[in-house]
Structure 1
Amino acid sequence: MTYFIYILLNNVIPLSIMIALGVILYRAFKLDIRTLSKLNFYLFSPALVFKMLYESTLSMQLMMQTLLFFALHLVAMFLLVEFIMRVRGYQNSMITAMRNSVIFYNSANYALPLNQLVFVGDAFTLSIQIIIMMMQSLLPNTYGVYSVNAHKNDPRQTLRTILSLPVIYVIPLAFLMRWLHIPIPDPIYMPITYISNAFVCTALLTLGVQLGSMKWKLMFSDVMLSNVLRLLIGPAVGFGIVWLLGIHGTMAQALVLATSVPTSLSSALIAVEYDNEPEFASQVVFSSTIFSICTVTLVIYLIQFIA
C-alpha cells in the first residue's frame, strides 16, 4: 500500500496536474504545439541527458551487463509487438505508433525517482537506471524518428532529420567530458541545469496541449493493447531475461523494475512532431501512467522474490 500511495502522490497526480494545465492553457490561448515540441527535442531533452550523464559514475562492466539486458529486452518486445500487429492487421502509421508506444518507456522522470524509492537511494541501482535512461533517450531520437519518417521521406532526408537532433551528439560529449574530467565553468553549467530542470514541465504541458487540441475519438482496444504490452508483458519479459542471463539480487530487481514503467513522453512528442497518430500516442501515454499505479506496485512486490 505504501508503494501504491507513493506512486499515486509522487508520479500520477503531479503528472496529471501538469497535463491538465496544458489542456487549460491550450483552451485559453491556443498554444502552438509545434513550437513546444521543438523546444523539447532541441533544447530541454538534450540538456537533461547531458547533465545526468555528465554527473553519473558508471563502470564499464555494469554498463555492458545493463546494455546486454536492454538489447535483449528491446528485441523481444519488438518481435512480440510486430507479431501482434500482423495478426491484428495494422497498417501504415499505426504500425509505427503502436511499436513506439511499447518499446519507448518513461525511464527518466518516472523511473528515476521510483528506483530511488524502492532501493532507498542506492547508487548502484541508480547507475543501472541512468544507463537505461541514456538508451531510452537515444533510441527515440534515432530509430524513433527514422521509423515515423521512413515511409514519408527520401532516406537521405530522414537521415538529415536524425542528424539534426542534438541528443545523438550530447551523449558521447557528456561521456567524453566526464572520462577526461573536463570541468564546465559555472556560467555555462548553470544554464544547462536550468534548462534540464524545465524538461519534465514542458514535456507534460506539451502532452496536455496535444490532448486539449485533438478531436477525441477513444481508441479503446488499441490503447488497452499497448498498455497491456507495456505494463504487464514488458516486466514479464524482463523477469525472463534476468533468469536467462543468470542475473540475481539487486541488479536483477533494478533491471526488471526499469521495464515496468509507463509509455515514454517521447513517443507522444515524436507523434506530434511528425504527425504520426498523435491522438493514439497521447492517449497511451496518459492512460499507461494512470494504470501504472497498480501494475508497478505489483512488479515491486514480485521483484522481492528474485534471489
Structure 2
Amino acid sequence: MFRQFLSVFAQVIIPVFGLVMISYVAGPKLKLEARTLSRTAYYLFIPAFVFDIFSKTRIEAALVARMAGYITVVHLLCVGVAILIAKLLKRPRDVVGGYILIAIFGNVGNFGLSLIDFRLGKAALVPATFYFIVLSFLSFVIGISAASWARGGGIRAVLSVFRTPALIAFALAALTNVFALPVPLFVTRMAGLLGQAMIPVMLVVLGLQMAATGRIRITADMCAASAVRLLIGPLMAFLLAFPFGITGTELATGILQSGMPAAIITTIIAIEYDLVPEFVTHTVLFSTIVSFFSLTLLLSLI
C-alpha cells in the first residue's frame, strides 16, 4: 500500500502539481496574465477538447443518463451538507452562499482531467470529460443562483450558463454522434490540436491565479468547507454508485472528480457578487494545498 502511495505521488501528483508550482513561481516574474490565458482556454481550448473527445466517442444513451443523474445527485447532496454545516455554525446568509460555491465548484477541469489522464489513461478521459461538462453546467446554475440569492440578484446571470462554449461544443458533438454526421478532417485536426493545449494551459492558469491569492489565515470555516469538497464528495460518490448502476471506469472517474479541490472560478464569482471573497479565495488555495495529500490517497485507492 505504501509503495502504491509513493508510486502515485511520484508519477501522478508531482507532474500535475509541479506544473502548477512552476507557473506559481515563474508567472509573476515573467508578468504573465492569468486572465488572457484563462479566456483563451475558456473560449478555444476547452470547447475544442470537448468536441474532439465526444465527436469520436459513442456512449450509450442509458449510461449517459445514469452518469448525469449520478454526478448531479452527488453534488447536490454535497451542497446540502455544506448548507447544513453553515447553518449549524450559525453563519450569515453571505457565508452560506460562500459554502455553496465551494461545495459545487470542484476543480474538475485543471486537476480532474489531468490527474485522471495520468492515473487511469486516455480511455478514462471520456467519462471524466462528460462529468466535467455536467458539473460545469450544474455548478454555474447552482453557484450563480446561490450568489444571486445571497445578494438578492436576478436570474439573468443564471441563464447565461446556456451560452457556455464547452456546453455548445458538447451539443454539436452530440449531434454528430446521434445523426452519424461526418466531421470534416480539417475540423477534427483543428479541434485535436487546440484540445491538446487545454490541460497544460489550465494548469498554468491555476498556478498564476494561486500566486495572485497571497497568504492565507486558516479558519474553522475554511477547514469545514474544504472537507465537504475533499472528503464528503468522494464518499457520496462511492455510496451512490450502486443505486445508479455506476461501475468500472465511470465509478473511478466519478469518485475522483467528486474529490477535487475548490475551483478558482469560485473566487471570480465571489468577487463579482461581493460574496465573502476573502473566505472563498483563501478556501480555494487551502483546499488545493490539502488536496496534495488527499488526492494522493484517493488515487492510491482507486
TM-score, normalised relative to structure 2: 0.78
Please give the root-mean-square deviation of Cα atoms over the aligned residues, in Å.
Answer: 3.6
- What secondary structure does 1:191 align onto? helix
CA spacing shift, 1:273–1:179, aligned 2, 3 Å: farther
CA spacing shift, 1:44–1:140, aligned 2, 3 Å: farther
1:110-153 Cα deviation digits (max 9, x unpaired): 4446556666x595x65543432221232334443454456568
Q: How does 1:206-285 map to 2 (within 5 A)?
A: 206-245=205-244, 252=251, 255-268=254-267, 270-271=269-270, 280-285=279-284
CA spacing shift, 1:186–1:6, aligned 2, 3 Å: farther
Which residue of structure 2 aligns with residue 48 of structure 1? 49
Structure 1: distance between partners of 2:170 and 2:222: 32
Residue range with higher mean Cα deviation, 206-215 or 70-79: 206-215
Q: State the 1:173 CA deviation.
A: 1.2
Which residue of structure 2 aligns with residue 171 of structure 1? 170
Which residue of structure 2 aligns with residue 19 of structure 1? 20
1:279-301 Cα deviation digits (max 9, x unpaired): 55554444434433543454456
Q: Residue type of the partner of 1:61?
A: A
Q: State the 1:29 CA deviation.
A: 4.8
Structure 2: distance between partners of 1:302 and 1:11: 13
Q: State the 1:58 CA deviation.
A: 0.9
Q: Is the 8 A contact 2:261 2:291 kept in 1?
A: yes
Structure 1: distance between partners of 2:26 and 2:248: 46
Which residue of structure 2 aligns with residue 84 of structure 1? 85
1:142-181 Cα deviation digits (max 9, x unpaired): 4434544565685364256434432332221111122223
In the alignment of these two chains, the number of paired residues is: 301
- What secondary structure does 1:175 align onto? helix
Q: State the 1:88 CA deviation.
A: 2.5
Structure 2: distance between partners of 1:193 and 1:248: 29
* Identical aligned residues as a percent: 24
Asked whether 1:60 is paired with 2:61, we answer: yes
- What secondary structure does 2:108 align onto? coil
TM-score, normalised relative to structure 1: 0.77
CA spacing shift, 1:140–1:74, aligned 2, 3 Å: closer
Structure 2: which 5+ residue stretches go unaligned?
A: none
Residue range with higher mean Cα deviation, 244-253 or 232-241: 244-253
Q: Is the 8 A contact 2:106 2:261 kept in 1?
A: yes
Q: Is the 8 A contact 2:107 2:261 kept in 1?
A: yes
Q: State the 1:261 CA deviation.
A: 3.4
Residue range with higher mean Cα deviation, 80-89 or 35-44: 35-44
Q: State the 1:68 CA deviation.
A: 2.5
CA spacing shift, 1:2–1:280, aligned 2, 3 Å: farther
1:44-90 Cα deviation digits (max 9, x unpaired): 32222222222322111211222232222122111111111122244
CA spacing shift, 1:266–1:135, aligned 2, 3 Å: farther
CA spacing shift, 1:292–1:57, aligned 2, 3 Å: farther
Q: State the 1:10 CA deviation.
A: 4.1
Structure 1: which 5+ residue stretches go unaligned?
A: none
Structure 2: distance between partners of 1:287 and 1:281: 10
Structure 1: distance between partners of 2:131 and 2:144: 19
Structure 2: distance between partners of 1:37 and 1:270: 15
Structure 1: distance between partners of 2:154 and 2:213: 30
Q: Is the 8 A contact 2:98 2:276 kept in 1?
A: yes
